[in-house]
Chain A
Amino acid sequence: MASEKSSNAKTGHKFQRSGFSYEQLIRFFFASNAGLSIVILTLIIAFLLKEGLGFFPGYRRDLETYRIAGLEFVDISRNNLTAHEQLTSLLNRAYYAEVNGKSSRELKRTEEASALYNAFTDQVGPTRDLILNNPQAETDGNAGMKAALLNNYEKQREKALQKPLSTPHLTNEERQQLIESLRARPPEATDDPPLVAALAQEFVAAQQKHAAPLQEFRTVIDDFESAGFDLGSIVMEMTESVTVTKEQLQTADILEKDRKTLLAAASGEKDPVERERLLADAHAALADKPDVETPMQALLERKPECVRLHEELKTASSAAFDKIPQSLTESDAKRILSAARKAWPVFITDLDMAPGKINAWKHTDPVPLSDAFMSFLTGKKWVTGGEWQDFYGILPLAIGSLMIAMIALSIAIPVSISAAIYVNHFAKPREQALVKPIIEFIQAIPSVVLGFVGILVFGTILREISVMDAFQWVPGFPIEERLNIFTAGCLLALMSIPTIFSLAEDALNNVPSAYAEASEALGASHVQTAFRVMIPASFSGILAAILLGFGRVIGETMVVLLVAGNRIKIPDFSEGLGAFFQPSHTLTGIIAQELGEVPLGSVHYRALFVVGIVLFAVVLGINATAHHFVNRAKK
């Protein structure tokens, strides 16, 4: 019916549609811009997936080589050996902590004296060098010049001695004596000032004195260490043979890949002569399959020996470990010793399980693709570029990212939400006009600059606080690394405060003022109105603000790269909350750090892409959830 009518209408009637209108043009302009961003997003996702998904087959092949070449077999013994070495090192550290702790007075005295002396030489160094290394002054015997240089030196010396470093552990006489000896010191002297030398000796003597009663402990540690020697040497031998096999396998893989490329080129080639040539090349590249069987048989024959050595290691190290002192006196030494005691049962269970593992191991077991998936998702090791075997386990990175985010959010959420509540409900208009822009201004600080400040100021201050006696009750203090999860978390908190603050403030602002009026007209106080009506009403919005802050923290790269300490290891949770003061690496940081250095298309390169995909998915998920809450708040 409609078409019937339209056919009746003559062209040129007064409702005639004009051709391509100006309005359509404008519409097209805006639509194309919106479309462009969608296209780009799609391309990015496609690119990520294309580069990333190749990772799993590649990694599977890596793991297969790891097994076929026998590296996996060697790792059974090697892991136990490493555990043994770590235990040895803990015992050694406990020993030295005890000795040095007992000689700590002497240690401080010698350190302070040398510090003062070193600061002095640093300052007079340049003028002193001028006197000593001036050939002109030597040869010409130019007395005037020599005198001038000497004069210069003396001036510098007096300046250096005006404010010598403080030496709280030296007596006043000693300090005076040291300063005088420096003043009287001829420029060409090279030996240490008498007091510095004497204190060094005093320290050595103290060390010896305190080491004497620990003689037995020392022997026990040495016995413990030597218990691992036999297993160590066999692991070394096996390591050599399996590395050779592994290299052969890898070379064969590369040749095979080349051959496939040549074959593909040949099948696409039109010219018969050229095709022949390519095919011949491909044929030549057909490598002999490397012989993995012979070395493998040799390796498998060592099974009984490995088992025996494990048992020996267990007996010998148990005998030694039983004899370590029940307790030490210095608190550091105690702490380290108890860490060793904690690690001991784990070590022993691993040793007990080793024979079973060794006997059950088969180089012919297949490596399914799911192994590569699981190894990526649940792997505790991210090891790359090593000579031995690369592992791409995301856990250390994910845990690092999460722990940093936890610190950041647990600081940023209370601060920014309270600030938002204050600005929105309690601040006078003038305070509002001041506080809001200042908080939002933090956003303008480039993250590199923030990272910079973090390293130089915050990290240092934190470390200094952590060695203060008054703060020793804090778990993890004194901190070993200046750059750690906590420092990164604090800086990220600073970065996410403006995000959370602005969004939360918006959310509070969006609550209809009619609610406030109603509440106050009912005789509720201002505080009651804020906390019973306004804040609950903006709850969804505040939650969204927190989530977006979380997304921001997880996605932030520069600050964590600079400040988190970049140690790829799952933090040691046996320290409890102290784990937050350990360095860590992150999902974002690893990409930024390694992507520039990896060969294009390698498994490592693809692994970084998969990390990128994970990150993308996580942030997308967070934002989608936040969006959900925002929508709910709008309703």
Chain B
Amino acid sequence: MNDLQEIPTASKTSTTSVDIRNVSFNYGNTQALKDITLDVRRNEVTAFIGPSGCGKSTLLRCINRMNDEIVGTRITHGEIVVDGINIHDPSVDVVKLRRDVGMVFQKSNPFPSSIYENVAYGLRMRGERDKAVLDQSVHESLQAAALWDEVKDRLNESALGLSGGQQQRLCIARTIAVKPTVVLMDEPCSALDPIATAKVEDLIWTLKNDYTFIIVTHNMQQAARVSDKTAFFYMGGLIEFGETKRMFSSPSVKKTEEYITGRFG
């Protein structure tokens, strides 16, 4: 299933899932990330926090190379290693990389097709035609995303008819349907009400055993509730990275404390 793991590496046994080493990143001539080093452990939830424009989304999009689609962008320095493989190696097929590194966007973006097709899309693109397999996967993924009970009678209706919160959970279901190892989430709850937010957070907790999560959030309580580790970014740089509990109780950098306590940002 995981194409990247087919290549035997030393790090396979290690617990590092995404290893970001000295990464600098440019949009054209403006530098958005400065020398970021960070390692994300398997089956942990890592939260990225920081003021708007500090580069959280940029870093997230580097991990599944979504930035490739933007003209004029490049990693100027450093490398990102996922499951022991440098993702910028010329031999890496970005399509296969994204099968292992899934992404949920800040704004829910279901396809304008049925709920069923949305969830089945990823597998279909992988050439899966067996209806039974697809049915099974749709069922499991929707259940995992805590959406099954709400939509089980309307699987063939348009996904655009769902509420915003349901759409976001559908996008999560769609992402986990292809069984990635890493799930990147860019402010997945920014458009959701507290109940839907709680559902997504529960979801992350329950799925943690099978996936590695990286979640960008502006919500400090959420970061505290849901994550094992937290990374605080400021102006394109990584200011502090560590255990969430420790970070929120006794941050070692003053900037972090100011941000967490809401004195700026």
Give A contacts to B, CB under 8 Å. 429, 512, 514-525, 528, 532-533, 536-537
Q: Is the CB of B95 within 8 A of A537?
A: no
Q: Judge whether B98 is part of the interface by a CB distance below 8 angstroms.
A: yes
Beta-carbon contacts of B110-138 to A below 8 Å, as 1s and 0s? 11110000000110111000000000000
Given contacts A518-B171, A521-B64, A521-B102, contact A512 B125 (CB under 8 A): no
Q: Is the CB of A517 within 8 A of B95?
A: no
Given contacts A517-B66, A517-B69, contact A522 B125 (CB under 8 A): yes
Give B contacts to A, CB under 8 Å. 64, 66, 69, 71, 95-96, 98-99, 102-103, 105, 107, 109-113, 121-122, 124-126, 171, 174-175, 178
Cross-chain contact of B105 among A514, A523, A528, A533 (Cβ < 8 A): A514
Q: Is the CB of A523 within 8 A of B122?
A: yes
Contacts of B95 on A, CB cut-off 8 Å? 523-525
CA distance A381 to B87 in the complex (A): 73
Cross-chain contact of B98 among A515, A520, A532, A537 (Cβ < 8 A): A520
Cross-chain contact of A522 among B96, B112, B175 (Cβ < 8 A): B175
Q: Is the CB of B96 within 8 A of A514?
A: no
Q: A519-B111, A521-B105, A537-B112 are in contact. List 6 more A-B contacts (CB 8 A).
A: A514-B109, A517-B109, A518-B105, A519-B125, A533-B111, A537-B111
Q: Is the CB of B111 within 8 A of A518?
A: yes
Contacts of A523 on B, CB cut-off 8 Å? 95-96, 98-99, 122, 125-126, 178
Cross-chain contact of A515 among B69, B109, B174 (Cβ < 8 A): B109
Q: Is the CB of A528 within 8 A of B103?
A: no
Residue among A429, A519, A522 with most chain B CB within 10 A: A522
Identity of the chain A residue whose Cβ is nearest the Cβ of B124 in the assembled complex: A532
CA distance A533 to B125 in the complex (A): 11
* Smallest beta-carbon distance B69→chain A, Å: 7
Contacts of A522 on B, CB cut-off 8 Å? 98-99, 102, 121-122, 125, 174-175, 178
Residue among B69, B103, B111, B174 with most chain A CB within 10 A: B111
- 5 closest A-B pairs (Cβ-Cβ)? A523-B99, A514-B109, A521-B103, A522-B122, A524-B125
Given contacts A520-B66, A520-B69, A521-B98, contact A528 B125 (CB under 8 A): yes
Q: Is the CB of A524 within 8 A of B71?
A: no
Contacts of A518 on B, CB cut-off 8 Å? 105, 109-111, 171, 174
CA distance A514 to B122 in the complex (A): 16
CA distance A129 to B222 in the complex (A): 105
Cross-chain contact of B121 among A512, A514, A519, A537 (Cβ < 8 A): A519
CA distance A517 to B66 in the complex (A): 8
Identity of the chain B residue whose Cβ is nearest the Cβ of A537 in the assembled complex: B112
Contacts of B102 on A, CB cut-off 8 Å? 521-522
CA distance A528 to B102 in the complex (A): 17
* Smallest beta-carbon distance B105→chain A, Å: 7
* Smallest beta-carbon distance B162→chain A, Å: 15
CA distance A11 to B171 in the complex (A): 61
Contacts of A514 on B, CB cut-off 8 Å? 105, 107, 109
